[in-house]
Amino acid sequence: MSNIVQTADKAGTFKTLLAAVKAAGLTETLEGKGPYTVFAPNDEAFAKLPKGTVESLLADIPKLKKLLTYHVVSGDVRAADVAKLHDVKTVEGGELHIHANGGVTVNDSKVIGADVVSDNGVIHVIDTVLTPSN
């Protein structure tokens, strides 16, 4: 198997996320021991952001790190467990609100792919970039 970064790279649908992770200096962390659960926005999710948002984030590393770590939860939380949760604390320090009625949503994002397993955790693919509250 591979770590989270390698697994996301092999999927081929997380180019923007991986570029952001690299720019923020978080690659080593997500390649580390973990385990981590990453609610990973795919490239289509990043494409839905207003024009210039990604470039703006890449130019503001502290804000980028905050955004990216808001997508990460400590531990290996599989789909069967996610559906039983209501709120979960992120590495960033905020909380994600999870609803499992007619499919799983995390805040306002739908989980469109679950349990992409890696050596150091799991990826759940989401269709919208999550934004932490200030």
DSSP-derived secondary structure for 5-58: HHHHHHHSS-HHHHHHHHHTT-HHHHHSS--EEEEEE-HHHHHTSPTTHHHHHH
Q: How many domains does the chain have?
A: 1
Strand-pair partners of 116: 123
The CATH number for 97's domain is 2.30.180.10
3: nearest Cα among 33, 25, 39, 23: 33
Q: Is position 66 within any domain?
A: yes
Q: Domain limits at 108?
A: 4-126
Q: Is residue 131 part of a domain?
A: no
pLDDT computed for residue 45 by the predictor = 97
pLDDT score of 103 more than 90: no
User: pTM of the full predicted structure?
Assistant: 0.95
Which residues is 59 bridged to in the sheet?
Answer: none
Please choose, from the candidates 123, 108, 134, the residue with its C-alpha nearest in 3D space to the C-alpha of residue 48: 108
